[in-house]
Amino acid sequence: MQIPIVAGAGPGPGLGSCAWKEQEWQDCDLVEQMREMTMTTSTPPTASLWSATSTSAWMGEWTETWIVWIREEVQRLMMGTEMDGRVEMDADGDVHGHIFSGSSLSGSGSGSGPGLGFESAKLWSSSSGDSLSLSTKQVLVNMYTSLLVFLFSFAGTQLEVGNALAERNTVGKLPALGWNSWNAFNCDVDEAKIMTAASQMVTLGLKDAGYEYVNIDDCWSIKSGRNSTTKQIIPDPTKFPDGISGTADKIHALGLKIGIYSSAGTQTCAGYPASIGYEDIDAATFAAWGIDYLKYDNCNIPQNWTDTYTSCVPEYNWVGPNGTCPGTTNAPPPGYDWSTSNSAERFRRMRDALMAQNRTILYSLCEWGYAEVWSWGNETGSSWRTTGDIEPNWDRITTIMNENSFLLNTVNFWGHGDADMLEVGNGDLTLEENRSHFAFWAAMKSPVIIGTSLDTIAQNLVDILSNRYLLGFSQDGRYGAPAMPYKWGVNPDWTFNATNPAEYWSGPSEMGTLVLAFNSLSVAAEREILWSEVPELSYNGNGGFEATDIWSGKALGCISGGISRNLTAHDTMGFMITGTCEGGGGGHRRSKLGRQAFRSRDSL
């Protein structure tokens, strides 16, 4: 997926187009052309959807809905302006959006046909043509604000971009919601603890809120080895007397799904049998047991499977300016394709083994951010870990949040950067830290996997984990992109800082625009959200918007200008912003801050 801003004329009409001119649609034959092109199937192929051949092979029934929605978005943005727009599909099946100011092209966007995915989102300045990897919805100049919102909106709508494990039941399209045993119990895991967590998910209302996976982490098998005849991993009969399949049956009876754990190495992280060299056997075993989710770790890699080069992972390497790794030894040559690395191949082997099974198993790569997994993870699994393990302390949480903020342009439907399992309810985190932690994991569209003991969890933490606005944003079926930073706050924009990451975030959803601001300081401080600075809202300047507080659920009415609040240390304020309105209170001044050209860590 590429979103260019270019000078000069755009491509001419291809197979069909819709033109928005003089405040109405003219010569609109795109949907009719799409009907003629649409194939009989509406189901994505189960093989890798990233091949170019699948673009022309799969034009499902959803395509017409997608085109109609894009057309509605152009109309919404252009109504009341002097700009003209056009949406068209070319002979290759790619859809292009164009917005004109007078006779000149102000900008254009193109969305690849189904199957190519959102490997990156890029902007080109109209003057130089140099590419900047974009990880927020920022604009190069203010006149492009509405255009970019439109483009990023249709990039995350009904275009169902699949990864290699995409299935007709849409498993993996949205971030996983569930519970995992590791953060709460480490190796002290057994069926009783798993079933307690499952029953509590139902009792506490977490199942009704959307949580569905109950995942067994490391240490579930015997440690001495595999079955000498079948070569299968053997469940520990003391911990799981009914076997994993028996536990799976009980989980399924509650209307939930079950997950299991292994590693792409010779042993798991705790020293139990792992799956490298046994991918086909283990995938078939997991499917036979009724497994629905596989967390696949990265421990104990054989020497012959190590990577040729060392990637820049800021927390593992000496960190230079803005997250670079100038001290990395054995760095790859410029332009190295990490999808050809041994790391990528190790994880692809399990992917292929899972795909060969007659069962849908969500595939979670616990790869720790090595080998630039964000460049190949979406074609391999449904989610991919971006960092090392989380810990129940605020410093670690902000470190992960900071690193993830530079990788969000690779997140969309079917591919999610995994910020690791939640520590909500663990350690000495304050209530404010717990809710900030949850808010940003949900907003970044990371998998949201609870990691605390559910039989002792406090109700106020259950309320946080059940927040309808944040879960609604996470699980939005129309917008796949995450919320992204639009201003750093304490630091200059695009500062890589583990202590004070970006403080101001926003993102579109069917409910409205989610806007978050948090206080990264260890003392109380005021934070102010200005509508004129929020990319999705800036078209209305200092005008009013209907706002709802996401924590209290209280409708605040029509608010003009923005909202400011005094926040205690590490707290977050959040609002769901809906339609425009008139006569709102607030009266905040218009921001005098110029908008920045934002870019990813790789371009710093």
Band (583; pLDDT cuts 50, 70, 90) = confident
Q: Name every residue whose Cβ is closer than 8 Å to that of residue 174 and which is 6 or more positions away in sequence.
A: 413, 474, 475, 476, 477
pLDDT at 85: 57
Sign of CA dihedral 382, 388, 390, 394: negative
- Three-point CA angle 146, 148, 149, nearest 5°: 65
Kindly tell me if the per-residue pLDDT of 540 is higher than 70. Answer: yes
242 or 71: which leads in pLDDT = 242
Q: Report percent pLDDT > 70 for the chain.
A: 68
First to last CA, the chain: 22
State which fold the 484-603 domain adopts: Immunoglobulin-like (2.60.40)
Residue-wise pLDDT tens digits, 170-197: 899 999 999 999 999 999 999 999 999 9
Burial class (CB in 10 A: 0-12, 13-18, 19+), 540: middle
- Residue located via tokens 């670079």: 324
Residue-wise pLDDT tens digits, 30-81: 444 443 433 333 333 232 222 222 223 323 333 444 454 455 554 545 444 4
pLDDT at 321: 79
**157: its two tokens:** 């709508």
In whole numbers, what is the pLDDT of the chain averaged over residues? 78
Task: List the one residue out of 424, 308, 322 whose CA is nearest residue 370.
Answer: 308
Q: Name every residue whose Cβ is closer than 8 Å to that of residue 571 and which is 6 or more positions away in sequence.
A: 432, 435, 436, 518, 519
Task: List the one residue out of 246, 257, 253 whose CA is nearest residue 294.
Answer: 257
pLDDT at 408: 97
Kindly tell me if the per-residue pLDDT of 134 is higher than 90. Answer: no
In angstroms, rounded to a whole number, what is the distance separating the alpha carbons of residues 195 and 552? 32
- Looking at this protein, which amino acid is placed at residue 192? A
Full strand arrangement of the beta sheet holding 83-89: 24-26, 16-21, 83-89, 95-101, 104-111
Rounded average pLDDT over 362-377: 97
In angstroms, rounded to a whole number, what is the distance separating the alpha carbons of residues 572 and 181? 27
Cβ–Cβ < 8 Å for 483, 499 = no
In angstroms, rounded to a whole number, what is the distance separating the alpha carbons of residues 309 and 502? 31
pLDDT at 84: 53
Task: List the one residue out of 83, 89, 71 whose CA is nearest residue 11.
Answer: 89
Sequential DSSP letters for 170-221:
-TTSS--EEEESHHHHTT---HHHHHHHHHHHHHTTHHHHT--EEE--S--E
pLDDT at 34: 41
Kindly tell me if the per-residue pLDDT of 5 is higher than 60. Answer: no
Cβ–Cβ < 8 Å for 485, 513 = no
| Annotated domain spans of the chain | 16-155, 177-474, 484-603
pLDDT at 89: 54
pLDDT at 141: 27
> Residue 523 in 3-state DSSP?
coil
Burial class (CB in 10 A: 0-12, 13-18, 19+), 53: exposed
Q: Name every residue whose Cβ is closer than 8 Å to that of residue 543 and which is 6 or more positions away in sequence.
A: 531, 560, 580, 582
**Distances in Å between the alpha carbon of 592 and those of 248, 307, 349, 526, 595?**
57, 48, 53, 18, 9
Cβ–Cβ < 8 Å for 472, 511 = yes
pLDDT at 323: 86
Kindly tell me if the per-residue pLDDT of 116 is higher than 90. Answer: no
**347: its two tokens:** 């994880």
pLDDT at 303: 96
Architecture of domain 177-474: Alpha-Beta Barrel (3.20)
Which letter, b or e, does each residue of 517-535 get, where b requires 16 or more Cβ atoms within 10 Å of its Cβ? Answer: bbbbbeeebebbbbbbbbb
41-45, 108-112, 439-443, 548-552: the lowest-pLDDT one: 41-45
Band (153; pLDDT cuts 50, 70, 90) = very low
pLDDT at 115: 25
pLDDT at 322: 80
Residue-wise pLDDT tens digits, 471-528: 999 999 999 999 999 999 999 999 999 999 999 999 999 999 999 999 999 999 999 9
In angstroms, rounded to a whole number, what is the distance separating the alpha carbons of residues 154 and 163? 19
- Looking at this protein, which amino acid is placed at residue 133? S
Kindly tell me if the per-residue pLDDT of 143 is higher than 60. Answer: no
Sign of CA dihedral 135, 137, 138, 143: positive
Return the biggest CA–CA distance within the chain.
76
Annotation marks residue 549 as catalytic: no
- Looking at this protein, which amino acid is placed at residue 165? L
pLDDT at 24: 59
Band (601; pLDDT cuts 50, 70, 90) = very low
Band (314; pLDDT cuts 50, 70, 90) = confident
Q: Which of 29, 90, 280, 389 is catalytic?
A: 389
| Residue 458 C-alpha from the chain's centroid | 28
**78: its two tokens:** 């252009």
Annotation marks residue 297 as catalytic: yes
**235: its two tokens:** 């469940």
Q: Which of 217, 236, 292, 297 is catalytic?
A: 297
Sequential DSSP letters for 238-293:
TT-TTHHHHHHHHHHHTT-EEEEEEESSSB-TTS-B--TT-HHHHHHHHHHHT--E
